[in-house]
Structure 1
Amino acid sequence: MNALPTPSRTRPAPGRRPLLVLGAATVAVVLLVGTIVLLNKRPLERIGYFADWNVANRGYTVERLRQSGAPEHLTRLMWAFGDIDPQGSCHIPRDSHDQPWELYQRRYQAHESVSGEADDYEQELAGSLNQLRQLRELHSGLGASLSLGGWNWSVHFSTAARTEESRRAFVTSCLDLWLRGNLPVRGEEPQGGDGVAAGVFDGIDLDWEWPGGQGNPANVEHPDDPAAFTLLVAEFRRQMDELSAETGREYVLSVSLPGGAQHAEAYEPEIFDHVDFATVQGYDFSGPWNEHTAHHSNLYLPGDDGGSNSVDQAVQRYLDLGADADRLVMGIPAFGRGWQGVPGAENGRHQAAEAPADDDYDGPTRSFTDLEAMDGRRFLDEEAGSYWVYDGDEWWTYDNPEVIALKGDYVLERGLAGMMVWNLDMDADGALVRAMDDALG
């Protein structure tokens, strides 16, 4: 038995309103209903993750994102990531890339700024958050969510979610920091203060990796984590609705869900009663932990593929759990995974490799932009919805625009909520984002 209480399931589904049919004539009724359905249908999500550490590590600023043309094809930006302190509160840590400085204290020069104007030393908000504010002013339809956790910063999620009191305090701290925009004043810098970043974000994304365990070895874990996660989602929804009533603004709540079968077993169907949508990670089905080459983001799993998972299987697990299709957003990668020392049989697919491939991005991963620039022979498997390049003895699996088109057809056919890409700096010219937009158009 679950020792934690069950949250209420009475909240109406976001974006759904009752249809009023007026008129006597059958034709008029049909036309009216059709019109109302079209008006009430939520637009398909086109979401991109922005990894804020790459502002410092790779020089990928919000202005670089603007120059790529991607924002005009997106409905929402997911800002990765927000951290949780050991006491279970949202905070901005001084980490390896000095997140406070990069987020809201760094003064941008005119040539690197979205507005084309240099920051003033004394302005209350500078850094990437001010750049994001400027970007959203250029693109009024672009939402922005702060994503909490991720692989490295989910360490104290369990502590925050453990009790009713801790959940309430945690959510309050997150909304104060990220939605109300109450930023701490640090050192001698003039940036920060109550409300200085209000309106930069209009959503919160919960990326606890993972409440069922099998996450970062440093994570605090507790047997009640899956049930506590459901209650935490409900508490976020409650407080965000209260904030909406206070400000008159709408706030978007989402969760990030794993694509793996064992990870997915931890989730409870009640979470879908409280979120506007959930993203499903449709990648990392294979990687350096595999001795044989295998696709890491294939749409389907044909009988002879040799893999163990697929996007279709990942999506179906959550449909079977009770999620409505129009709450699930398919995640796609802007990166590939590779191996070296790969024999040429079957053009390198399903072959025993000597080792994971080397690359300077993140171990055996390579960005979509760099993969498209590689030499070698390229192959598309339309049945599996997968793509690969075989260059010398290196074999890389990734999604190209042809695969994105196949996945877009799947989203439309299954009535899903849209698509999401991780992450935008790996798609430097916005080619995948444009392909995603075209596929859903």
Structure 2
Amino acid sequence: MLFSGLACAAGSVDKESSTVAAGLRNIAYFTQWGIYGRNYHVRDIDRSGSAAKLTHINYAFANVRNGVCEVGRTQPTNPTTGEGGDAWADYQKGYSVADSVAGVADSWDQPLKGNWNQLLQLKNKYPQLKVLVSLGGWTWSRGFSDAARPENRQRFVASCIDAYIRGNLPRMGDAGGPGAAAGVFDGIDVDWEYPAAPGIDNTSHSPADTENFTALMAEFRRQLDAVRPGLLLTAAVGAGVDKIRVTRPGDYSRYLDFINVMTYDFHGGWESNTNFHSALYATPADPSTGDVRRYNTHDAIQAMKAAGVPAAKLNLGIGFYGRGWTGVSPVANGLYQAGRSAQGTYEAGIEDYKKLAVLGYPSYRDSTAGAHWIYANGQFWSYDDPDNIALKMRYVRDQGLGGAFSWELSGDDTRGSLVHAMSQGLGSR
């Protein structure tokens, strides 16, 4: 096999289902930028009751630029180039007594403040929690293809480990310094969107990514193990079968503790007809063609398993938001009808669960697709509610998967209803 020598060189041990011996995973993403317009802070994970039900939190995102994990920059993200960062949110912002997890105000000269210090306080309060830093994401994945090349790989991984595991941060005002963030992160989540396939643009990927992605995972595993055995390495991967076939899941999964399969965003307002954004199964009624006919959760999970990934390493993804269209005909209660992207609170075509749940629109279910939607006044929104989450968590158990994850916490309501539905359905707590 092409990568058999690579496994030996990395000193890898195939991490099998022992990682889930204590129960299924319930993972959630927390976004760096959620503290602004959404006014969602780490304390809200605690106050909603969600922290007690989670096993892992992924902090999104860390930028990948110029062959390194870029940390310590504060500037608005340029959507064209991907340049940007928010060190102020990460580790500079001071929290008051009332707004902190621990009920202790940050001091002005404290080397670690911001979201990262709050996550550290959350871990202290909930010892079951592991926190990972997620690299890349949709906007910040442009640098992966170059960073993963053989001549750049070792330096790139070393930069990520230096910043996020050893905690060596650039000085920003009174914050940062050597070891300032040590102990915050228990591992690294690689969210490359997407190896060997188009992501936010059509230029920052290459056919060489197929081999380089696996080699990058091996290098991360090697360097993490050299720091301390037990540090986590995970990946978030595209759920489209076209994204899966251009990588080698059976090879790269050997280096990973688990894989988050992004089983959402299958359809959305960029398309001219309504459809389900996170269907569990394919349905003969779906008018899609080609690979898009297989844009559903089951086909994604089966493709990963067929490629050689142990089921216990796979986590099913739940979106805490809906995809929507407006100007939609009432025929079939809006399903598979022409429309245009609906207005959302923060961007067109997308809306948080907490907003959709209180609209009071009539609710519909497709039992074949395992999908849910609401429709009224020409508005069609497809999203997972607690009942549909229960269906998907039953699928997780039936398939022997390792658990589930969600994007992202600020979309849930103040009671943590969706996190609770996931936890209850997984039977982990």
Q: Same fold (TM over 0.5)?
A: yes
The structure 1 residue matched to 2:239, chosen from 259, 280, 296, is 259
Query: How much does 1:112 deviate?
Result: 1.1
What RMSD in Å do the two structures reach over aligned CA positions?
Answer: 2.0
Contact 1:280 1:331 in 2 (8 A): yes
Q: Distance in 1 between matches of 2:315 and 2:214?
A: 19
Letter in 1 for 2:237: L
Which residue of 387, 397, 402 corresponds with 2:372? Answer: 387
Once the two structures are superposed, the pairs formed by residues 286-365 of structure 1 within 5 Å of their partners are 286-307=267-288, 308=293, 309-353=295-339, 355-365=340-350
Specify whether residues 116 and 219 from structure 1 end up closer, same or farther in structure 2 by C-alpha distance, changes over 3 A only. Answer: farther
Answer yes or no: is the 8 Å Cα contact 1:52–1:81 preserved in 2.
yes
Match of 2:52?
72
Take 2:374 and 2:193, find their aligned partners in 1: how far apart are those partners? 30
Q: Would you say the 8 A contact 2:132–2:189 is kept in 1?
A: yes
Of residues 341, 349, 354, the one that matches 1:369 is: 354
Are the counterparts in 1 of residues 71 and 170 from structure 2 also a CA contact under 8 Å? no
- The residue number in structure 1 matching 2:182 is 198
Residue 400 (1) aligns with residue 381 (2): no
Quickly say closer, same or farther: Cα 1:410–1:121, change in 2 above 3 A. Answer: same
TM-score normalised per structure 2 = 0.92
**Shift in CA distance, 377/16, structure 1 to aligned 2, threshold 3 Å:** closer
| Bigger Rg, which one | 1
Q: Does 1:50 align with 2:30?
A: yes
Runs of at least 5 residues in structure 1 that lack an aligned partner in the other structure: 18-38
The code of the aligned residue for 1:306 comes to P
Q: How does 1:147-162 map to 2 (within 5 A)?
A: 147-162=134-149
Corresponding residue of 1:282 = 263
> Do the aligned partners of residues 57 and 221 (structure 1) sit closer, same or farther apart at CA in structure 2, a change above 3 Å counting?
same
Q: 1:217 aligns with which of 196, 201, 205?
A: 201
Shift of 1:57: 3.4
Equivalent residue for 2:82?
A: none
Task: Rate the CA distance shift 1:72–1:120 in 2: closer, same or farther, 3 A.
Answer: same
* Aligned partner letter, 1:136: K
Q: Is the 8 A contact 2:386 2:418 kept in 1?
A: yes
Q: In the alignment, which residue of structure 1 is the partner of 2:162?
A: 176
Q: Which amino acid aligns with 1:199?
A: G
Is residue 99 from structure 1 mapped to residue 86 from structure 2 by the alignment? yes
Q: Map Cα deviations across residues 60-89 of structure 1 (whole Å, 9 max, x no partner).
A: 111122211111110000100011222334
Amino acid at match of 1:54: G
Could you tell me how far apart the structure 1 residues matched to 2:20 and 2:169 are? Answer: 36
Name the CA distance, whole Å, in 2 between partners of 1:16 and 1:367. Answer: 33
How far residue 374 of structure 1 moved from its aligned partner, in angstroms, is 0.8
Gaps of 5+ in 2: 78-84
Q: 1:105, 1:89 → 2: CA distance?
A: 18
Q: Does 1:11 align with 2:2?
A: no
Alpha-carbon displacement from aligned partner over 1:206-265 (angstroms, at most 9, x marks no partner): 0010111211117533331111010000000011111115xxxx2111011101121111
Percent identity over the alignment? 36
